[in-house]
């Protein structure tokens, strides 16, 4: 269809020039180059990629780039607790040389309902069934309400992926980009309902009903989730093969401002230990040892000036992924 349109333009232009008996070589050459440039731009593979700055979205962007897409990266400043991830997204976008990186700002704290958009405490040290791997690499067992049997953590942001994908769909329609990439994963994940394959298929179907371009038959949108059935270790290995620099990425849901600042819990624990040792007239070196032990987790400060907590779901999955991949997390 595009080729026919292109050659139709060339034919009509040729007839117009000859009928007017105006065929200067330089004008004809410039016109042909203009038409060729138009056709080449129209036929370039474009993709909108949701880019949070984390491992999954960054790897997804690297995959899209590797597959020959002209990448339009889309990030969101929704007043999230871990807003530092936007700095990571900018670094990743630059390293991948994306065509354009767009950051859209809105405030989901006005809605709340999540530890990431309110003062609700971020869950830490969740084990076993709470933070789980879907070993079968298939959709987890669901209740008749469509929610997971295990509790969905409070880090779930209400309808977040639906909101993000809707923005991506609007941009994709404007760009005439058929493909929208998202780093959704249904293996090493916290059980968010909007990361499941059936959800992505449903959104893709909705896209064909809700856009002018689809209704007119010009574009059939496709939601691409290349990491959907990969473990975190497999994702990290894939990104490493593609040359992605994971030191640019950020994962933690509850970043700490700097390495020297202890949490209230750690300060209280240190104070108790200090008082106990003083009461027993013990060597102060034990206090120093304890202080260094509880602050050890903060030694991995990033160039963003923040320290990952090391205990939220996202930190746990990141650490497990690098360990299983046999790759050092810098």
Q: Is residue 241 pLDDT above 90, yes or no?
A: yes
Dist CA 131 CA 151 (whole Å): 10
Check residue 213 and give its pLDDT: 95
Contact 151/145 with Cβ under 8 angstroms? no
**What pTM, to 2 d.p., does this model score?**
0.73
Of 227-236, 280-289, 307-316, minimum mean pLDDT range: 280-289
Q: Is residue 56 pLDDT above 70, yes or no?
A: yes
User: What's the burial of 171, exposed, middle or buried (CB within 10 Å: 0-12/13-18/19+)?
Assistant: middle
Helix (H, G, I), strand (E, B) or coil at 189: strand
Q: What is the pLDDT of residues 169-213, one digit of tens each?
A: 999 999 999 999 999 998 877 789 999 999 999 999 999 999 999
pLDDT band, residue 306 (cuts 50/70/90): confident
Contact 62/244 with Cβ under 8 angstroms? yes
pLDDT band, residue 47 (cuts 50/70/90): very high
Q: Is residue 238 pLDDT above 90, yes or no?
A: yes
| Continuous H helices in 223-282 | 232-241, 264-279
pLDDT band, residue 148 (cuts 50/70/90): very low
Q: What is the pLDDT of residues 82-99, one digit of tens each?
A: 999 999 999 999 999 999
pLDDT band, residue 34 (cuts 50/70/90): low
């Amino acid at each position: 269809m595009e080729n026919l349109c292109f050659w139709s333009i060339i034919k009509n232009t040729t007839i117009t020039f000859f009928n007017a008996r105006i065929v200067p070589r330089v004008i004809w050459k410039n016109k042909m180059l203009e038409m060729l440039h138009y056709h080449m731009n129209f036929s370039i593979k474009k993709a909108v990629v949701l880019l949070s700055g984390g491992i999954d979205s960054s790897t997804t962007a690297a995959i899209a780039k590797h597959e020959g897409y002209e990448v339009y990266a889309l990030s969101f400043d929704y007043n999230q607790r871990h807003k530092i991830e936007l700095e990571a997204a900018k670094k990743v976008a630059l390293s991948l040389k994306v065509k354009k990186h767009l950051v859209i700002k809105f405030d989901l704290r006005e809605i709340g309902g999540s530890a990431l958009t309110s003062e609700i405490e971020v869950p830490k040290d969740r084990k076993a069934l709470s933070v789980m791997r879907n070993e079968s690499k298939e959709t987890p067992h669901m209740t008749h309400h469509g929610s997971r049997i295990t509790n969905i953590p409070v880090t779930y942001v209400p309808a977040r992926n639906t909101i993000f994908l809707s923005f991506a769909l609007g941009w994709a329609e404007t760009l005439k980009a058929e493909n929208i990439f998202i780093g959704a994963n249904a293996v090493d994940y916290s059980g968010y309902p909007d990361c499941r394959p059936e959800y992505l298929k449903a959104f893709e179907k909705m896209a064909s009903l809700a856009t002018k371009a689809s209704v007119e038959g010009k574009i059939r949108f496709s939601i691409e989730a290349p990491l959907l059935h990969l473990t975190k270790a497999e994702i990290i290995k894939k990104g490493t093969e593609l040359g992605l620099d994971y030191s640019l990425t950020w994962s933690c849901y509850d970043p700490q401002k700097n390495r020297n600042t202890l949490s209230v819990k750690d300060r209280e624990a240190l104070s108790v230990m200090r008082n106990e040792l003083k009461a027993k007239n013990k060597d102060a070196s034990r206090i120093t040892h304890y202080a260094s032990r509880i602050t050890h987790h903060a030694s991995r400060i990033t160039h963003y000036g923040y320290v990952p907590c090391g205990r939220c779901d996202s930190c746990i999955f990141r650490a497990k992924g690098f360990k299983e991949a046999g790759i050092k997390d810098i």
